[in-house]
Structure 1
Amino acid sequence: MGLPELLFIGALTLGCVFARLNSRQPSGYTPHRIVGGADVPPGEHVPYQVSLQYKARAGQMHFCGGSIVAPNRILTAAHCCQGLNVSRMSVVAGIRGLNERGSRSQVLTYTIHPKYQELVTSDLAVLSIDPALKLNNVSITSIEYQSKKKEFVGGGVPVTLTGWGLRLPVPFPFLDEVNYPNVLQRMSYHTISNTECKNAGMESVTDTEICARGPFRGACSGDSGGPLVMQTENGPRQVGIVSYGLVVCGLYISPDVYTRVSTFSEWIGSQLES
């Protein structure tokens, strides 16, 4: 029996029963990262991407992704923040590798959307950071998250996900160097309609969420909070925030679920003004 068949059986026996959040939470939580991605090439930048890091005994640990929406504001997932000690949280911008110095800012506060329910809805938060990032439009810049018409992204739209994510459908013991790359990963696939998403096992998905799916690719632990981006005539625009999926990552039968940014653009804007 080949690897695809084994993974398919694993998804049926585990994934259809248990959902998993896509975060690498500190203090022993399961990590999640991109499956089926490739290294961002040397010298190339994903300038809106940041690494959320938590100060542990062993040092600073990457646990989630995020995106720059203003020099002093970061957009991420609510489940990346809930219950964490803000004084131990920081963000690093302008990096390709997690071993790079980049530009580090302390997280001062995080605001979780008031209607957030884990694995249900409104999985987003805005971080306030200090010092504010120095945007240079090369290695560090903000990403557009609003569309003039509040466009509802349906199925069949090409999208790109970036993150420092697990490259395999499940983590293998003692293979952290393979499981968890230090280099930023990038992967492209397509959105699917919410009806398709429900039929593929995500029965509780709502219009506040957006789904995407591709063969042996997708979000996994450590990717949570990171940006799902589509290209427009005016440049990249963030349409989703990595939220959750099934236990086994990156199988075609298992869509990834993202917070639909357009639904919450006004709330995000209000956090930038506060």
Structure 2
Amino acid sequence: MAPIELLLIGVLAIEGAFGRLNSRQPSGYTPHRIVGGADVPPGEHVPYQVSLQYQTRNGQMHFCGGSIIAPNRILTAAHCCQGLNASRMSVVAGIRSLQEIGSRSKVLSFTIHPDYKELVTSDLSVLYIDPPLEFDNTTIGAIDLQSNYVGGGVPVTLTGWGLRLWVPFPYLDDVNYPNVLQRMSYHTITNQECRNAGMDSVTDTEVCARGPFRGACSGDSGGPLVMRTDEGLKQVGIVSYGLVVCGLFISPDVYTRVSTFTEWIVGHLEF
């Protein structure tokens, strides 16, 4: 199977079990979500996590994740923005469930990395939002960026509003797509291990992670992969792409490597 961006699994293998057309997503895309995760417990918060939502005829719809890097800046994947109308996009912060109101800000515009090539490199974008988010560092707060190279065998954690199953089975959306934020932990692997596992085009601008029957899948796109350091949590990666069937042990997830782009990201924190 060929790798695909986590936002785009819907139209492949329509007659098989590897994907489906999904009316939840803008522009005919399928949102990517977590396999093998568990609900973030009541009373706990992931203050840096946001839901990217798109205005449709049926209302606001979650389609990607993102992370707060400043009161008026959100970090996400380039493929979550490419071809979309910023005026129909918004972000919601401070929520555990997609049914909560939270703090909503409009997306004024976004900047996609100039070197972005689909499934190749530089899959990141910075959103400019208004009004700025009000930090309380409990329910809403920024995540620090990991500036040092991360190798294999490092424990990492992914959060997102995720698909519970390996593929989105038709007519089971209420089971497939939980409203509660999901959290899942596994380990990074080296880029060579990632290539050996079938992700032939992985470059040094990306970092891979893998674990048994778990991983990013259909709404997680653009979301934050974090690690714990002596200085606290830091964002290591941005959900980019994987295989059509999510959560297979042999199938790594590919993330944009934040440390490669720290200077570019920081350069977009100010007007």
TM-score interval, smaller chain: over 0.9
Aligned equivalents of 2:123 and 2:74: distance in 1?
A: 14
Query: Unpaired segments of 5 or more residues in structure 2?
Result: 9-24
Aligned equivalents of 1:31 and 1:230: distance in 2?
A: 24
Partner of 2:18: none
Partner of 1:3: none
Partner of 1:50: 50
Name the amino acid aligned to 1:201.
G
Deviations 1:172-199 (A, max 9, x none): 1100011100000000000000000000
Partner of 2:257: 260
Task: Determine whether 1:197 maps to 2:194.
Answer: yes
C-alpha contact (below 8 Å) 1:71/1:135 kept by paired residues: yes
Q: Say what the alpha-carbon RMSD is for the aligned residues.
A: 0.9
Aligned equivalents of 2:30 and 2:103: distance in 1?
A: 27
What secondary structure does 2:256 align onto?
strand
Partner of 2:13: none
Aligned equivalents of 1:31 and 1:135: distance in 2?
A: 27
Give the alignment of 1:129-148 within 5 angstroms.
Answer: 129-147=129-147
What secondary structure does 1:87 align onto?
helix
Deviations 1:234-267 (A, max 9, x none): 1100000000001100001100000000000000
Aligned equivalents of 2:190 and 2:144: distance in 1?
A: 23
Task: Determine whether 1:112 maps to 2:103.
Answer: no
Aligned equivalents of 1:77 and 1:232: distance in 2?
A: 24
Deviation at 1:221, TM superposition (A): 1.1
Deviations 1:184-242 (A, max 9, x none): 00000000000000000001000000000001000001100000000001110000000
Partner of 1:4: none
Aligned equivalents of 2:49 and 2:246: distance in 1?
A: 21
Partner of 1:187: 184
Q: Which residue, out of 253, 268, 271, partners 2:268?
A: 271
Name the amino acid aligned to 1:226.
G
Name the amino acid aligned to 2:53.
Q
Name the amino acid aligned to 1:21.
E
Aligned equivalents of 2:69 and 2:31: distance in 1?
A: 25
C-alpha contact (below 8 Å) 1:21/1:221 kept by paired residues: no
What secondary structure does 1:225 align onto?
coil
Partner of 2:207: 210
Give the alignment of 1:1-274 within 5 angstroms.
Answer: 16=1, 18-23=2-7, 25-147=25-147, 151-274=148-271
Q: Say which structure is richer in helix.
A: 1
Runs of 4+ in 1 over 6 A off after TM superposition: none
Deviation at 1:146, TM superposition (A): 4.0
Deviations 1:89-113 (A, max 9, x none): 0000000000000000000000000
What secondary structure does 2:185 align onto?
strand
Name the amino acid aligned to 2:140.
I
Partner of 2:20: none
Query: Unpaired segments of 5 or more residues in structure 1?
Result: 1-15
Name the amino acid aligned to 2:260.
T
Partner of 2:17: none
Deviation at 1:28, TM superposition (A): 2.0
Deviations 1:129-171 (A, max 9, x none): 0000000010000000043xxx210000000000001111100
In the comparison of the two structures, how many residue pairs are matched? 255
Aligned equivalents of 1:221 and 1:162: distance in 2?
A: 13
Aligned equivalents of 1:62 and 1:74: distance in 2?
A: 15
Deviation at 1:27, TM superposition (A): 2.7
